[in-house]
C-alpha cells in the first residue's frame, strides 16, 4: 500500500512526505522531481515550452507508474488531482492524505518562490485563491484523510498522519514511533 500526499503548491507535501517515509522506512518519491529527472528540465521550463496539457499528460503517465510500485510515500504535484485518472490511481494504490492549507498561508510561504509556474503572475494571492476554489473539492474527493497544515511543525504533521493511518488499521502500530500518541482501548 502506498501513501500519497495531495494538496496545493507549497502545502508541505515533499517536506512532510520525506519525514513520513523515513518514519515508515519506505521509499519517498516526489512526482514532480521524477518528471524533471525523466525530461531533463525543470517543470517550469516544460510548462513554458510545451504547455500545461502536455505536462498533465506526462504527469498522468508518471503517477500511474509510481502508483504501481507498491509501498512508498508519494508527494504529488499540486495539480495532480485535476485528472480523474490520477485520482483513481492514487486511491487504488492506497491511502491518500490531503494536506490542507489556506491560500493566505500558502502565500506567506510562497511569496518569494520563482519556481512554481502557475504562481508567476501579477497577483499570486489571487491566483492561489482561484486554484484553491477549483482544487479543494478535488483534493477532498481524492483523499481519505484531511490534515490541516496551519501552523503545526513538520514532525507534528507527520505524527498526525501516522495516528490516522494507525487508527484506520493501515499501518502496523509497531511502525509508529513511540513518540506518537497512542489511542488505547477503554479500561474495563
Please calculate the CA angle 83-12-51 and round it to the nearest 5 degrees.
40
Q: Is 67 annotated as a binding residue?
A: no
The owner of cell 518528471 is: 35
Task: Please indicate if the annotation marks 14 as binding a ligand.
Answer: yes
Per-position DSSP letters for 70-126, written without gaps between them: -S-EEEPPTTGGGSHHHHHHHHHHEEEEEEE--HHHHHHHHTT--S-GGG-SS-HHH
The verdict on whether residue 32 carries a ligand-binding annotation is yes
* 69 marked as part of a ligand binding site: no
DSSP code, position 42: -
**Annotated binding residue at 100?**
no
Q: Per the annotation, does 109 bind a ligand?
A: no
Q: Is 10 annotated as a binding residue?
A: yes
Q: Is 61 assigned to a binding site?
A: no
Known binding residue 116? Answer is yes
* Closest C-alpha among 147, 141, 13, 7 to residue 73: 13
Q: Does residue 12 have a known ligand-binding role?
A: yes
Binding-site residues for ATP, in ranges, read: 10-15, 116
Binding-site residues for Mg(2+), in ranges, read: 14
Binding-site residues, in ranges, read: 10-15, 32, 56, 78, 116, 135
Binding-site residues for substrate, in ranges, read: 32, 56, 78, 135
Amino acid at each position: 500500500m502506498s501513501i500519497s500526499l495531495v494538496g496545493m503548491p507549497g502545502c508541505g507535501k515533499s517536506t512532510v512526505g520525506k519525514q513520513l517515509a523515513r518514519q515508515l522506512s519506505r521509499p519517498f518519491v516526489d512526482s514532480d522531481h521524477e518528471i524533471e529527472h525523466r525530461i531533463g528540465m525543470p517543470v517550469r521550463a516544460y510548462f513554458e515550452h510545451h504547455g500545461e496539457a502536455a505536462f498533465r499528460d506526462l504527469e498522468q503517465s508518471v503517477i500511474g507508474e509510481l502508483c504501481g510500485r507498491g509501498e512508498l510515500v508519494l508527494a504529488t504535484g499540486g495539480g495532480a488531482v485535476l485528472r480523474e485518472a490520477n485520482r483513481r490511481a492514487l486511491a487504488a494504490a492506497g491511502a491518500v492524505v490531503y494536506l490542507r492549507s489556506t491560500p493566505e498561508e500558502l502565500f506567506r510561504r510562497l511569496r518569494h518562490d520563482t519556481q512554481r509556474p502557475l504562481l508567476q503572475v501579477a497577483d499570486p494571492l489571487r491566483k492561489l485563491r482561484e486554484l484553491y476554489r477549483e482544487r479543494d473539492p478535488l483534493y477532498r474527493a481524492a483523499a481519505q484523510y484531511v490534515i490541516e497544515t496551519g501552523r503545526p511543525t513538520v514532525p507534528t504533521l507527520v505524527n498526525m498522519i501516522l495516528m490516522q493511518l494507525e487508527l484506520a488499521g493501515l499501518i502496523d502500530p509497531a511502525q509508529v514511533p513511540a513518540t506518537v500518541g497512542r489511542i488505547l482501548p477503554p479500561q474495563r
